[in-house]
Amino acid sequence: MSASPVPAGSSAPRAERGGDGRPGAARTKSLLIKSGGYGVSTLSVFLLAAPSWQNASKSPLLMACLVAGMAASIAGMGLRWLSYWREKRGR
């Protein structure tokens, strides 16, 4: 007999059940952790760009590169999060 019985009607593997045995609880927690990580990474993009902003504002090319780099980094994190979310939702 297993230490944590599967609730009636649950076909979720043990790894996908939370500590309370509910299917999807572990996935929800994983999504929250992953989302929080991407949020922190997005914040770090702004914090790292802040010291460069004053110097970059003196040159349109530097400013364009700084803004494009920030946008590309945030877009990449957004796409990775979306891919993760769709993969988890599709299971």
Q: Which residue has the higher pLDDT, 77 or 31?
A: 77
- Helices vs strands, H then E, count in the chain: 2, 0
The confidence score (pLDDT) of residue 55 equals 93
| pLDDT band at 11; cut points 50, 70, 90 | low
Count CB atoms within 10 A of the CB of residue 17: 19
Angle at 79 between CA 87 and CA 90, to 5 degrees: 15
Longest dimension (CA), the chain: 70
Give the pLDDT confidence of 36-61 residue by residue, as tens digits: 888 899 999 999 999 999 999 999 99
**Dist CA 12 CA 29 (whole Å):** 15
Give the pLDDT confidence of 65-87 residue by residue, as tens digits: 999 999 999 999 999 988 888 88
Report percent pLDDT > 90 for the chain. 44
